[in-house]
Amino acid sequence: MSLPPDIKIDNAAVSFGAGVDKAIDAALADKRLVGAVVLIMQDGKPVYRRAAGLADREAGLAMTEDTIFRLASVTKPIVTIAAMRLVEQGRMGLDDPITRWLPDFRPRLADGGEAVIRLRHLLTHTAGLSYCFIDEDGPYTRAGVSDGIGEPGMALAENLKRIASAPLRFAPGEGWCYSLAIDVLGGVIEQEMAMSLDDAVAELVTGPLGLTDTAFSVRDRKRLAAAYFNASPEPERMGQEAVIPALTGSVRFAPDRIFDPSSYHSGGAGMAGTADDILRILETIRQGGGALLSEETVATMMTDQASGLRQQVEPGSGFGFGWAVVTDPDAAQVPLSRGSLQWGGVYGHSWFVDPTKKLTVVALTNTALEGMWGRFTVDLKQAIYAAL
């Protein structure tokens, strides 16, 4: 099947276009990606926009700029922004113990000792929590914990109970581990707002920006991209479930989870949305917070808040509130400027914000894991910075 014509709109910066086109075209030609939407803004202006490849290969549907994607961890910065709005409103404090909202959530240390998890620990992944895929044979897996991207039908209260039954990896504030912390944060927000996380995020984040396509449900299923994963000779379409090796374990996907109203709203992985919506949110942050947050709060979020603990795990990269922060580009081996923000999503996404270059880049794909940390992400960054 031949690829449909690519859609290019407002590709104003020819210097960006040639290199970025090459990175996208190579990933499609090599069958590392099925489809992608790449949007770039510089100094508040759209300088590159392209939808390429197929949103649904089997149906022959072309990728379009308004394609909706399962966002996976691109959800995290959105839910973090919602929490920081509540902090600004004085309804939550960074040093408040989360038992203020979740009195039964009291995971213990490995030696059985008590621990106090505070809001800032959740925001920075320093709470001592983890993910199943990080330790596949560990206590989370044995407890039947959901990573928020599979296991449809599980309620949040049940997942919190299972997480709390497992020992913490370390005392809160004494280590860094990517984790289900933002799922727990979602539970905190629901309790504070007395509403579902979907409604809370709509009130606090997407509503003020006038965004209608990004939520914990899919508003228009005809625009939802199919989900694929790396395979040979071409990416394989995910079925009802898919188990894909990642890091030291495996990620368990259930692509139809987002259609199941009985599945809890995962603050770390549960949303779907468009590249334009994500670009709008990130650009609002880059420009100082706009309708969402004060410049002071944004500056705090864009600073390493993990006390250097993440840099011990990944040199040159700290963690603010909602995203990784590049503290040393050379050590991190990235072309981004110091102070840049970046993260991604396991369904196949990556994004970064470079405040120094006034640059915001969103690349959403429908192919895990190439679109999150494969060669495509490296080629894309190199092409962009070669053009600057």
pLDDT the model gives residue 252: 96
Map residue 243 onto helix, strand or coil: strand
Amino acid letter for position 188: V
Confidence band of 57 (pLDDT split at 50, 70, 90): very high
Q: Is the pLDDT of residue 188 over 90?
A: yes
Q: Is the dihedral of CA 186, 188, 190, 192 positive or negative?
A: negative
Tokens of 168: 């913490």
Whether this prediction's pTM lies above 0.85 is answered by yes
Q: Is the pLDDT of residue 2 over 90?
A: no
| DSSP state letters, 81-118 | HHHHHHHHTTSS-TTSBGGGT-TT--PPPTTS-----B
Angle at 148 between CA 350 and CA 198, to 5 degrees: 85
Annotated active-site residue in 2, 15, 73, 337: 73
The 10 Å CB-count burial string (b at 16+, else e) for 250-283 is ebbbbbebbeeeebbbbbbbbbbbbbbbbbbbbb
Contact 86, 204 (CB under 8 A): yes
Cα(267)–Cα(182) distance, integer angstroms: 5
Per residue in 137-186, pLDDT (tens digit) is 899 999 999 999 999 999 999 999 999 999 999 999 999 999 999 999 99
Catalytic residue list contains 179: no
Amino acid letter for position 198: D
Confidence band of 6 (pLDDT split at 50, 70, 90): very low
Cα(158)–Cα(176) distance, integer angstroms: 25
